[in-house]
Amino acid sequence: MVFSAISASVRRPSVLTSISLSCLGLLLGAAQAHAFSLDDVTAKAKALVDKPYAAPASNLPPVFSRMQFADYMKIQPRADKVEWKDLDTPFKLSFYHQGMHFNTPVRISEITPQGVQEIRYDPERFHFGDLHFDKDQTARLGYAGFRVLYPINQKDKQDEIMSVLGASYFRVIGKGQVYGLSARGLAMDTALTSGEEFPAFREFWIERPKPQDRQLVIYALMDSQRATGAYRFTLRPGDDAVLDVQSRVFSRSNVNKIGIAPLTSMFLFGPNQRTDSTQNYRPALHDSNGLAIHTGDGEWLWRPLNNPRDLAVSTFRVNQPKGFGLLQRGREFSRYEDLKDRYDLRPSAWIEPQGDWGKGQVELVEIPTPDETNDNIVAFWTPDAKPAKGQPMQYDYRMHWTMNEPALIDKDIAYVKQTLRTAGEITQANLIRHLDGSVGLLVDFEGASLANLPADAAVRPVVSYSGNAEILHQSLERNPVIRGYRINLRVKVNDPSQAVELRAALAQGDKVLSETWSYQIPPNSVTVAR
């Protein structure tokens, strides 16, 4: 464009001038291609800190704001209107329409070598099913979020591999996986009586991928009443999806509890916590069944999840964490028996911190829920140090969305395969079982470090417990089915209104063979025998 205008109005440039102009154009193009970065979003987030928070106002007409979930699901993206449809790239984008509580639009822009351009809202991108409304009203609406499409399972089929919708929530899946747990950009004051604040992504910038690219880069600007933030996500599809996250968070005002790399999941029941009132054909119903932690000093922890009667908050002091996540251990279909929701195909999410995160703790929040429609599990890292206003909290991490949970653990450390809880019993002289009001717990450990031990290996259980309990029985036996070991415990709870904490691991001499099983018997979950 510049060369044509010049050549039309003046004499023909010399060869040297033509080459110089071409080089200049290339340099300008390259500069534009790399002009947008996390620094740009960080500057926007920092600028917001000094401004009063302006809550976005809903622009939804009643037909959309009063919409029920079933009607909202009728609004689906058109396959022939996806972004980058005609471009030679394996990635495509489709969008979520506004509706229900997704009542404010998010701005979505595309980054190209030519610069940054907003992807304008177009109602023609959607099927609206049998919904009836004034078509003119949709022209003033917008996108609530977006989906990333990629041929992860078949070369000729675009699969949804990432969903970004609502507050700072997002979900990712790899090959053969279905959506389960979610992640968030930030958690604030979770489980405090003051109430939780939900920061929201207000604007996104997505790099247009080149034909050879097998990763997608996404930037996000977060805003809330007490914090702002800048994020860079790098998505790498595969058998396991990998998402690299760079975050820069600024505080507007005091926040009592900051949650870094928060994960949100659902646990209704499982073999470690079943109730007499559960009438369900499924042996287990959960998106995740445990919290795993790799501490800075090298210890591995496994905490089975509970659906408690009352809100429960557990903290694990972990300096310089090496990793933590909410995992779905146990991939056999027989564990779930659910053909519709396929809990056996829901991924685990593992957070791998990049750099030194310093001192702090991993926090687990368990919320009572009567059904599987509510996410009732939250886990995150909360740092001890809180920077001053205007100084960013910088936390980078890699997220693994995987169904290969054993690969997350060091190969020379055995892991907890399952936890079984039952009514405690003793065998009487007449061989008839007698329930004595105790809690029976069976913990199976599996792994190469156990499978390769000789038959006469002196493996011993290392068990500890809180003062509100007594161990009535403790034993260790081989489990030949999994080539591992099983710890059997019978626990008496002294005060059922108080929680009981138990820990157990396997050792051989001074060598630790397994991760540490950290289990809680929640308050009011035991009936005392009369």
My answer on whether 46 and 26 are in the same domain is no
My answer on whether 20 and 47 are in the same domain is no
- What is the structure's pLDDT at 11? 36
Cα 92 to chain centroid distance, Å, stands at 22
Instruction: Give, to the nearest 10 degrees, the angle between helix 2-9 and helix 15-33.
Output: 150
Overall domain count for the chain: 3
- What is the structure's pLDDT at 2? 33
DSSP symbol at 276: T
- What is the structure's pLDDT at 390? 75
My answer on whether 300 and 214 are in the same domain is yes
DSSP 304-372: E----SS-EEEEEE-SS--EEEEE-----GGGT--TTT-GGGPPEEEEEEES---SEEEEEEE---SST
Q: Which of 475, 463, 460 is nearest to 507 (CA)?
A: 460
My answer on whether 403 and 429 are in the same domain is no
- What is the structure's pLDDT at 1? 35
**CA separation (Å) from 221 to 231, 234, 285, 397?**
7, 15, 35, 18
- Residue 20 is part of which domain span? 2-34
Here the tokens at position 505 are: 């691991």
Residue 298 falls within a domain, yes or no? yes
The C-alpha atoms of residue 401 and residue 501 are separated, in whole angstroms, by: 29
My answer on whether 420 and 310 are in the same domain is no
My answer on whether 118 and 30 are in the same domain is no
**CA separation (Å) from 141 to 90, 183, 206, 221?**
29, 26, 21, 20
The C-alpha atoms of residue 13 and residue 4 are separated, in whole angstroms, by: 11
Residue 528 falls within a domain, yes or no? no
At 271, which CATH number? Answer: 2.70.98.10
Per-residue confidence in pLDDT tens, the chain, 530 aa: 333 333 333 333 333 334 344 444 444 444 444 479 999 999 999 999 989 999 999 999 999 999 999 999 999 999 999 999 999 999 999 999 999 999 999 999 999 999 999 999 999 999 999 988 888 877 889 999 999 999 999 998 999 999 999 999 999 999 999 999 999 999 999 999 989 999 999 999 999 999 999 999 999 999 999 999 999 999 999 999 999 999 999 998 888 899 999 999 999 999 998 765 557 899 999 999 999 999 999 999 999 999 999 999 999 999 999 999 999 999 999 999 999 999 999 999 999 999 999 999 999 999 999 999 999 999 999 999 887 777 889 999 999 999 999 999 999 999 999 999 998 877 766 777 778 889 999 999 999 999 999 989 999 999 999 989 999 999 999 999 999 999 999 999 999 999 999 999 999 999 999 999 999 999 988 875 54
- Pick from 386, 408, 430: which residue ends a domain? 408
- What is the structure's pLDDT at 5? 32
Residues 6+ apart with CB under 8 A from 163: 145, 147, 148, 170, 171, 179
The C-alpha atoms of residue 414 and residue 451 are separated, in whole angstroms, by: 9
In sequence order, the β-bridge partners of residue 184 are 169
Residue 527 falls within a domain, yes or no? no
My answer on whether 182 and 215 are in the same domain is yes
Residue 384 falls within a domain, yes or no? yes
Residue 378 falls within a domain, yes or no? yes
Q: Which of 182, 262, 170 is nearest to 216 (CA)?
A: 170
- Pick from 408, 423, 438: which residue ends a domain? 408
- Looking up tokens 């909290």 gives 393
My answer on whether 336 and 299 are in the same domain is yes
- What is the structure's pLDDT at 159? 96
For the range 214-220, what are the long-range contacts, defined as Cβ-Cβ under 8 Å and sequence gap of 24 or more?
214/90, 216/91, 216/148, 217/111, 218/164, 219/36, 219/38, 219/40, 219/41, 219/111, 220/41, 220/168, 220/185
My answer on whether 369 and 451 are in the same domain is no
Residue 530 falls within a domain, yes or no? no
My answer on whether 66 and 106 are in the same domain is yes
Grouping H, G, I as helix, E, B as strand and the rest as coil, residue 379 is strand
- Pick from 383, 408, 433: which residue ends a domain? 408
My answer on whether 48 and 18 are in the same domain is no
Residue 498 falls within a domain, yes or no? yes
The C-alpha atoms of residue 476 and residue 450 are separated, in whole angstroms, by: 13
In single-letter form, the type of residue at position 403 comes to M
Contact status, residue 244 vs residue 398, Cβ threshold 8 Å: yes
Q: How many CB atoms lie within 10 A of CB 419?
A: 23
Q: Where are the beta strands (DSSP E) in 82-215?
A: 92-97, 107-112, 115-118, 126-127, 143-154, 157-165, 169-172, 182-184, 187-188, 200-207
Residue 97 falls within a domain, yes or no? yes
My answer on whether 402 and 433 are in the same domain is no
**CA separation (Å) from 184 to 7, 64, 199, 285?**
54, 25, 9, 23
